[in-house]
Amino acid sequence: MLKQHLTTYLLALMFIVPFLLPAQNGFVPRVEELAKKVEPEVIQWRRHLHQYPELSNREFKTAEYVAKYLKSLGLEVQTGIAHTGVVAILKTNKPGPVVALRADMDGLPVIERVNLPFASKEKDVYQGQNVGVMHACGHDTHVAMLMGAAKVLTQMKSELRGTVVFIFQPAEEGAPPGENGGAKMMVEEGVLSKNKVNAVFGLHINSATEVGTIRYRPGGTMAAADRFVIKVKGKQTHGSTPWTGIDPVIVASQIIQGLQFIVSRQTELTKEAAVISVGRIQGGVRNNIIPEEVEMEGTIRTLETGMQDKLHADIHRTATNIAESMGATAEVEIFKYVPVTYNDPKLTDEMLPILVETLGRDNIILTRAVTGAEDFSFFAKEVPGLFLFVGGMTPGQDPTTAAPHHTPDFIINEAGMLHGVKLYCNLALDYLKRH
């Protein structure tokens, strides 16, 4: 029995000790020094990008702004990847692995409501509608942080071995319907294979995580995201005599209720979380005409492939049966968009000591999986990947009062970006050193 307990204890130490004991890397103080020097520029870049956001696959000026700066550092720069993507390569000309660092560039069709001197006033057209454009998810900070990391690592080139690939990715929020884009397209165009990337790291700032802390999770950390479209077809008639037609608006409302019963009554939520949300419903042109057709569009979030398949089947069955019961028909299309974002457990364990050394043990927080999605998952399907959440909330603030991402009131404390720059650099440096 004593031997069994001792064996269990030693196995536990194998996993715990690397986390408790920082790596004591000599490059960490140097990164700290250079990151602090570049911080004013990072803030300046971020504010420019925040003021002039662009929608997915339309990041033309953003890409030009980024590429111009990267070229000024003397890096090998490639543009036009996956439409507007930018890739810069730092070659040390010394043997070693290839590590990639990724940031996303696109804004969202959201009208900014935050009172900032650099608030966005930009407008554009999205799916035929006039919309405001805002960096309502922090992608402006990601770009600025990676630009800062590019400068720091370029200054440390003589201390590096191997290659660093800086990936500035468009369309993380999803290419417009009918278009390709994002991480999937970058992978298809060979951004990882052509550069022989061995590992990839990504950061996402978070408005409800305190500045100076990071959240991580080995394995599945963010949900798969699928898009669905349901077209409900009825029979058009005068609004004063609904009995002479089949009202697709009423049918659609019943389908929406039915979709929520899938989650609340037909899904094993103690196993993994799941979400079905309708984000758009459109039908009719006039108040006194019951239309012939209503179209709704929404998102499905799952953290496990078996549950993903089940929800797809449930949505088909629910929508078509409800429509049929009311004399209408429903056509259901489901488009798989983003797989589960998976942090390679071995790579995560390997990088924990440098995370501790960068921010301190108490500031590295093991978190639960979330139902948000990230197309970083396409990179992490090809090579080992690690995706971290960086604190962007003012210290001491109640997280429940922080405006969620994708909302008009979303705001980030810029002090968090310094830590992002350091993390990008230290992750790359530590990986290159270890391998």
| Nearest to 205, CA basis, from 259, 261, 141 | 141
89 lies in the same domain as 215: yes
Residues pairing with 273 in the sheet? none
Say yes or no to pLDDT of 19 above 90. no
Spatial separation of the C-alpha atoms in residues 46 and 415, rounded to whole Å: 12
What integer pLDDT is reported at residue 259 of this predicted model?
Answer: 98
Q: Which of 301, 320, 338 is the last residue of a domain?
A: 338
Q: Which domain holds residue 296?
A: 224-338
Among candidate residues 54, 106, 112, 226, the one labeled active-site is 106
The pLDDT tens digits for 117-155 are: 999 999 999 989 999 999 999 999 999 999 999 999 999
Q: Is residue 378 scored above 70 in pLDDT?
A: yes
The CATH number that applies at residue 368 is 3.40.630.10
Pairing of strands 98-104, 163-169: parallel
273 falls within a domain: yes
Whether residues 139 and 272 share a domain: the answer is no
CATH (domain of 330): 3.30.70.360
Q: Are residues 230 and 218 in the same domain?
A: no
Residue 29 · residue 119 · CB < 8 Å: no
- pLDDT tens figures, 288-339: 999 999 999 999 999 988 999 999 999 999 999 999 999 999 999 999 999 9
> At 393, which helix (H) or strand (E)?
strand 385-393
Whole-structure pTM over 0.85, yes or no? yes
Strands annotated E in 211-323: 214-216, 219-222, 224-233, 237-238, 274-283, 289-290, 293-302
Going by C-alpha positions, the residue among 108, 235, 239 that lies closest to residue 173 is 108
Q: Which of 338, 358, 375 is the last residue of a domain?
A: 338
Report the pLDDT value the prediction gives residue 5, as an integer from 0 to 100. 47
Is residue 144 domain-shared with residue 283, that is, in the same domain? no
Classify residue 8: in a domain, yes or no: no
Whether residue 230 is found in the same domain as residue 88:
no
Instruction: Assess if residue 291 is contained within a domain.
Output: yes
Q: Is residue 207 part of a domain?
A: yes
Residue-wise pLDDT tens digits, 59-71:
999 999 999 999 9
Helix axes 60-72 and 27-51, enclosed angle (nearest 10): 150
Question: What is the torsion angle, in degrees rounded to the nearest 10, for the CA atoms of residue 176, residue 225, residue 208 and residue 368?
Answer: -160
Catalytic residue among 59, 172, 173, 414: 172
The last residue of a domain, from among 338, 353, 387: 338
Residue 394 φ then ψ, to 5°: -55, 130
Instruction: Specify the number of domains making up the chain.
Output: 2
pLDDT range class, residue 24, cuts 50, 70, 90: low
137 and 252 housed in the same domain: no
Burial class (CB in 10 A: 0-12, 13-18, 19+), 246: buried
C-alpha to C-alpha distance for 362 and 63, rounded to whole angstroms: 37
Q: Is the pLDDT of residue 420 over 90?
A: yes
- CA angle (429 as vertex; 173, 10 as ends), nearest 5: 100
Examine the residue annotation and report whether 172 is marked as an active-site residue of this protein.
Answer: yes
CA distance 350 to 341: 18
43 shares its domain with 169: yes
Task: Compare 121 and 20 and report the one with higher pLDDT.
Answer: 121
Percentage helix, strand, coil, to 5, in the chain?
A: 40, 25, 35
pLDDT confidence band for 219 (50 / 70 / 90) = very high
With respect to residue 290, please indicate whether it lies within any of the assigned structural domains.
yes
Computed over its alpha carbons, how large is the radius of gyration of the chain? 24
What pLDDT, in 10s, does the model give residues 122-131?
Answer: 999 998 999 9
